[in-house]
Structure 1
Amino acid sequence: MSASSYEHDQTALLIVDPYNDFMSEGGKLFNAIKETADASHMFDNLRLIIPRVRSVGIRVFIVPHHRSCPGDFDHWQHINMFQKAGLPTKAFEAGSWGGEFHPEFGPQEGDVVVKEHWAQSGFANTDLDLQLKQHGIRKIILVGLIANSCIESTGRFGMELGYHVTLVKDATAAFSHEGMVAAETNGPMYAHAILTTEELLSRLPPAP
């Protein structure tokens, strides 16, 4: 793959779920992902990827999970396991510090903030596909959380819609080592490229 493979006007970086509850110490889910995040050096690698992507003119899309609100799943017929498990903790609670975007990894001026997804896929029941198409995007690079749920589901859905999908395997984390293994096992089934941060940076276009 040549350095020009990620053309700045056709490529987007998707940062999935960059909430304080995940990414800030003291967040409700921070300790749950800390072991795998430390092992992959996710935070350090995001600090390399995000500024570099912005500097070369690749647009950033924020792909956020639904912020919990009272009565969210009342009378739902098929609440999924993760949604049910999150009811007591109220992760990403609307109006709370944990439900705010991390100041370093969240949106900046010029980014596109997509409608919140209810379950795992950033495409399902959101405007992500519309926003990508309206911005002329053909290739998506996925970073953030969680490797074997929202990252995988968004990547699979993106592949089905015809996007070129890139996973950055050391810019993500999971709730367990087994979750990371599952993501690594499943990735080749839908991703067109699976790269390390170093490999990705070497393939980005030069800064204008």
Structure 2
Amino acid sequence: MFTFAHRNPEMLLDRTSTALVLADIQNEFLSESGSYYPMIEDSLRANNVPDNIEALLKAAKEYGFPVIHSPHYYYPTDRQWVAPGGAISHYLATQISFVGRKNPVDLEGFAGSRADYPERYKKYLQDGKTANTSPHKGASSRANDVIKQLRMRRIEKVIMAGPVANICLEGHMRDIIEEGMEVAMVRDAVAGGRNEEGDAYLAAMINYRFFANAVWTTEEAIGRMKAVAASA
């Protein structure tokens, strides 16, 4: 019987071609007011995810690594969708006000909403340097400009984190890997829920081990960023 025992190759960071990529740093996922928050609350706490995300942001800013953030928004016009699409994205877009905004150019009602960023992260995400991309509408980055933002910065190595390990974050990871970039996933800066089939966090960790070039802790990721910056 063939057994595939994957061992992640040693991914080495580079000062000029490495970026931190985050998805869904929004109240919907990371604040108690969010509708998705109860699904991942236990996992967020178990892994200390909110603090670890902030630690990664702080390190990226301190050591000079670009930050790309992919938010998740739906607009009232998305309720016009009639194609089934993926079960989750279709339901979220058409049935509930999930990460809802009035429209792409009007911020009325955005501040403090479930689509907004948690206050603790705004100093990093709204510093005029972070690239907050157009929204992803499903799990992946196919519908927004994450890949464009990475390519225009000549990024080849990516460190990734975010609250929904097995859906949006994994979708983004797969897209970025398919574009030929190396990806390191930060295992304690992600979370997952549970359903009748099992633990989504564990499912994500299994897939990360098959796909990603590295799976690090927050401490390891920050240590590597610091070392690269010190040697520059």
- Out of 131, 155, 158, the residue aligned to residue 137 of structure 1 is 155
1:82 to 85, 88, 106: 88
Which region of structure 1 is more displaced relative to structure 2, 173-182 or 113-122?
173-182
Please, which of 88, 96, 103 is the counterpart of residue 119 of structure 2? 103
Q: How does 1:146-161 map to 2 (within 5 A)?
A: 146-161=164-179
Percent identity over the alignment is: 26
Q: Retained in 2: the 8 A contact 1:73–1:79?
A: no
Amino acid in the other structure paired with 1:141: I
TM-score by length of 1: 0.90
Alpha-carbon distance between aligned partners in 2 of 1:179 and 1:42, rounded to the nearest angstrom = 15
Query: Is contact 1:8–1:56 with CA below 8 Å preserved after alignment?
Result: no
User: Are the counterparts in 1 of residues 21 and 160 from structure 2 also a CA contact under 8 Å?
Assistant: yes
How much has 1:28 moved relative to structure 2?
2.0
Shift of 1:104: 2.4
Per-residue Cα deviation, 1:10-53 (whole angstroms, up to 9, x for no partner): 11111101111111222222222111111111112112211011
Q: Does 1:60 align with 2:67?
A: yes
Query: Structure 2 length as normaliser, TM-score?
Result: 0.81
* 5+ residue gaps, structure 2: 1-9, 102-108
Q: Which moved more, 1:32-41 or 1:81-90?
A: 81-90
Q: Distance in 1 between matches of 2:97 and 2:144?
A: 21
Secondary structure at the counterpart of residue 12 of structure 1? strand
1:17 to 12, 19, 24: 24
User: 1:164 aligned to 2:187?
Assistant: no
Q: Which amino acid aligns with 2:152?
A: Q
Moved more, 17-26 or 85-94: 85-94
Using the TM superposition, give the Cα deviation of residue 110 of structure 1 relative to its aligned residue in structure 2, in angstroms: 0.6
| In structure 2, C-alpha distance between the alignment counterparts of 1:74 and 1:91, rounded to whole Å | 15
* CA RMSD, 1 decimal: 1.9
Partners of 2:130 and 2:147 in 1: CA distance:
15
- d(CA) in 1 for partners of 2:114 and 2:15? 32
Instruction: For residue 199 of structure 2, give the secondary structure of its aligned residue in structure 1.
Output: helix
Structure 1 distance, partners of 2:144, 2:89, is 17
Q: Give the superposition deviation at 1:75.
A: 4.3
Using the alignment, how far apart are the partners of 1:103 and 1:113 within structure 2? 15
Paired residues, number: 204
Question: What residue identity is the alignment partner of 1:104?
Answer: R
Aligned residues of 2:81 and 2:90 also touching (Cα < 8 A): no
Shift of 1:200: 1.1
What SS does structure 2 have at the residue aligned with 1:72?
helix
Q: Which moved more, 1:161-170 or 1:43-52?
A: 43-52
Q: Secondary structure at the match of 2:80?
A: coil
Q: Does 1:206 align with 2:212?
A: no
Q: Out of 165, 168, 175, which is 2:193 matched to? A: 175
What's the offset of the Cα at 1:79?
A: 2.8
1:190 to 2:196 alignment: no
Are the aligned partners of 1:8 and 1:59 in contact in 2 as well (CA < 8 Å)? no
